[in-house]
A and B are shown apart, each in its own frame.
Chain A
């Protein structure tokens, strides 16, 4: 029996299984779109557009994935992003320095993360309530700073705003015969760096495995000698810091602050994490899945628009349907799997 076991390959873990499903569905969806809708979908620029628009969503989703793997939730990320944008815009317009504004962004994010983490881990208050309060606070502060939309006037920042990375060999030839380069914004680079960093953290670092441990079974994690409180605290601090970074990236994309910036971003981030195979119950999830979750969520919007469903409601309704599909799929896959395990 022992020998048999060692010959067999280990079955996929729940995390791997769910991530794989997500990736397969994304590519199926994208290739179908290429085949049936053609047009923009045949150009690489389409993917870059999606990335350019959603760099900050990718960043907050990474943070949220960490929190959710640890068995928590952070619904303040969108509001903090919005607050960071508004604060940085106002600071820059008052003649500030770009470097300091980056620090300001990180500082605001970290401050929220620290307070959330402290209240949730050390005072044992429910994460939903704490981060709900955080969300209210951030949204409220945003409107207190300025209720009117603010555009960045800072000269130095303008160059940052316009900075683009051109990738000629992924470009395409437009109808008039001109060659158009594929362009990627600076924010996407930051998002990719964050993605890789979080991937390494979760997979290769002791701390990352501790997140999985406390999400899998908090009591056990304690018995295994993991500092559960500190680990949970850190997960919220990371999420907060990433919200700060996300805010700065958001500002680099839009170049303006608005009280309704990043509205609903927290729910999109949660949805992306779920589609990517992160379970709200904790212990299962993967940041690669989350990335594809964001891609699925945003690609479906593009597909809806391209396929001629022009009424404004279709995007959200399709997104809801997509979410519903994934949630039920995961529930069925996991319950069948666990059912099988018991029968053996």
Chain B
């Protein structure tokens, strides 16, 4: 069984090679196409704040939700050997819960926003725990278990919203979704950094990383070493729940409205893709959160590059597909092996040539 879940991009330190190469190719491609592609300028937005602008900022800013979700998804993937396909739907629910609280009072104060955020987190954690229970206790494959929420999550969000797409406006939400006055960096980017740092801290201050990998690689052995694998799997889903809530709230704050149909639409596929591009084995086990974050930026950079090339937003998928296929084919163990053999042959041929002349030790 384990042979099935071969790492699609190789192992260990080489794990980050593919995403980094992908970024490098995209950067070079863009520089050749349009040298000013990456130029960044300081401009003033409608509120009169000085803010950074440019394609690079658009990419980094736009990938924020994806990056946050990818971090959580990496943990779920590692612990359970499967993916959560309900993150988009769950984010819609969290976003609706967020808006529900914001709308409950007359005015939106900082306090309301914090309470709304916490409420959204709790709601998303409960749904995460639901998925996690199906996976950890009932031993259902993650994709199947989360198919339930995928099917009905957006409808639940619609229900919470009472059949409407309510809008909320507040300077505090603008500060979350766009810019904090005085800081030229988009807030979502800052949130990604904070979430990343928290992940790093959690790995440093707890045994989450070791336990998750142990459970993902060999659940039997983990159990016999006293690890409570049910807890670890459940925890990974709950952590993903928090990530979902944060991503959902960012999404809502950006637009100032909650639309259950379009909020973070299709993001589950992109998230899984980010995890895979990051060199993580979708069959579980060893993982690198950093890889998934880079994966998220690779996807976003690709999307923005295509936009810049006047590809319409609906057509982007087709081009994305071609790039994905290219990436996975290059990363395929079979192709690698064949390529390695070819290189060896070439090398030995060259070696033979050199041996003729000089002695080798």
Q: Does the CB pair B134–A126 fall under 8 Å? A: no
Q: Which residues of A contact B1 (CB under 8 A)?
A: 218
With the chains together, A319 CA to B163 CA distance in Å? Answer: 18
Residue interface bits A133-164, CB-to-B below 8 A is 1, else 0: 11111011101100100000000000000000
* Most B CB within 10 A of own CB, among A144, A147, A259: A144
Cβ of A288 under 8 Å from chain B: no
Q: Which residues of A contact B332 (CB under 8 A)?
A: 119, 123-125
> Which B residues between 303 and 361 are near A, CB-CB below 8 angstroms?
312, 314-322, 324-325, 328-329, 331-335
Q: Which residues of B contact A144 (CB under 8 A)?
A: 315, 318
Q: Which residues of B contact A312 (CB under 8 A)?
A: 155, 158, 163
Task: Find B159's partner among A135, A311, A327, A332 (CB 8 Å cutoff).
Answer: A311
Q: Does the CB pair B328–A119 fall under 8 Å? A: yes
Cβ of B6 under 8 Å from chain A: yes
* Most A CB within 10 A of own CB, among B83, B156, B317: B317
| Nearest CB of chain B from residue A117's CB, rounded to whole Å | 14
With the chains together, A103 CA to B245 CA distance in Å? Answer: 47
Q: Which residues of B contact A281 (CB under 8 A)?
A: 141
> Which A residues between 101 and 139 are near B, CB-CB below 8 angstroms?
119, 122-126, 128-130, 132-137, 139
| Nearest CB of chain B from residue A25's CB, rounded to whole Å | 17
Q: Take A137-B317, A144-B315, A267-B151 as given contacts and tell me if A129 and B156 are in contact as well, using a CB distance cutoff of 8 Å.
A: no
Cβ of A317 under 8 Å from chain B: yes
Give chain A's interface residue range (CB within 8 Å of chain B): 35 or more
Q: Which residues of B contact A90 (CB under 8 A)?
A: none
> Which B residues between 143 and 187 are near A, CB-CB below 8 angstroms?
143-145, 147-156, 158-159, 163
Cβ of A315 under 8 Å from chain B: yes
- Closest residue to A274 on the B side, CB-wise? B144
Q: Which residues of A contact B163 (CB under 8 A)?
A: 311-313
Q: Does the CB pair B328–A129 fall under 8 Å? A: yes
Cβ of B215 under 8 Å from chain A: no
| Nearest CB of chain A from residue B2's CB, rounded to whole Å | 10
Q: Take A124-B6, A317-B155 as given contacts and tell me if A137 and B321 are in contact as well, using a CB distance cutoff of 8 Å.
A: yes
Cβ of A40 under 8 Å from chain B: no
> Which B residues between 273 and 288 are near A, CB-CB below 8 angstroms?
273, 276, 282-283
Task: Find A125's partner among B154, B269, B272, B329 (CB 8 Å cutoff).
Answer: B329
Q: Which residues of B contact A274 (CB under 8 A)?
A: 144, 147
Cβ of A316 under 8 Å from chain B: yes
With the chains together, A141 CA to B316 CA distance in Å? Answer: 9
| Nearest CB of chain B from residue A192's CB, rounded to whole Å | 26
Q: Take A271-B147, A316-B155 as given contacts and tell me if A133 and B325 are in contact as well, using a CB distance cutoff of 8 Å.
A: yes
With the chains together, A144 CA to B312 CA distance in Å? Answer: 9
Q: Take A137-B317, A317-B152 as given contacts and tell me if A219 and B3 are in contact as well, using a CB distance cutoff of 8 Å.
A: yes
Cβ of A86 under 8 Å from chain B: no
Q: Which residues of B contact A270 (CB under 8 A)?
A: 144, 147
- Closest residue to A281 on the B side, CB-wise? B141
- The tally of CB-CB contacts under 8 A between chains A and B is 148
Cβ of B102 under 8 Å from chain A: no
Q: Does the CB pair A335–B155 fall under 8 Å? A: no
Task: Find A140's partner among B144, B283, B318 (CB 8 Å cutoff).
Answer: B318
With the chains together, A313 CA to B156 CA distance in Å? Answer: 7
Q: Does the CB pair A321–B152 fall under 8 Å? A: yes
Q: Does the CB pair B276–A327 fall under 8 Å? A: no
With the chains together, A339 CA to B239 CA distance in Å? Answer: 32
Q: Which residues of B contact A313 (CB under 8 A)?
A: 155-156, 158-159, 163
Q: Does the CB pair A316–B140 fall under 8 Å? A: no
Cβ of A280 under 8 Å from chain B: yes
| Nearest CB of chain B from residue A277's CB, rounded to whole Å | 13
Cβ of A320 under 8 Å from chain B: yes
Q: Does the CB pair A136–B138 fall under 8 Å? A: no
Q: Which residues of A contact B120 (CB under 8 A)?
A: none
Q: Does the CB pair B151–A331 fall under 8 Å? A: no
Interface residues of B (CB under 8 A from A): 1, 3-4, 6, 8, 83, 134, 138-141, 143-145, 147-156, 158-159, 163, 269, 272-273, 276, 282-283, 312, 314-322, 324-325, 328-329, 331-335
**12 A-B pairs in the complex with CB atoms less than 8 angstroms apart:** A123-B329, A128-B83, A129-B324, A135-B269, A144-B315, A270-B147, A280-B144, A281-B141, A312-B163, A316-B152, A321-B152, A328-B138
**Additional A-B contact list (10), CB under 8 Å, known A128-B143, A132-B272:** A123-B335, A124-B333, A125-B331, A126-B276, A128-B83, A136-B324, A137-B317, A274-B144, A327-B144, A331-B138
Closest 10 pairs (CB-CB, A-B): A140-B318, A320-B152, A137-B321, A140-B317, A316-B155, A136-B321, A313-B155, A143-B314, A136-B317, A133-B324
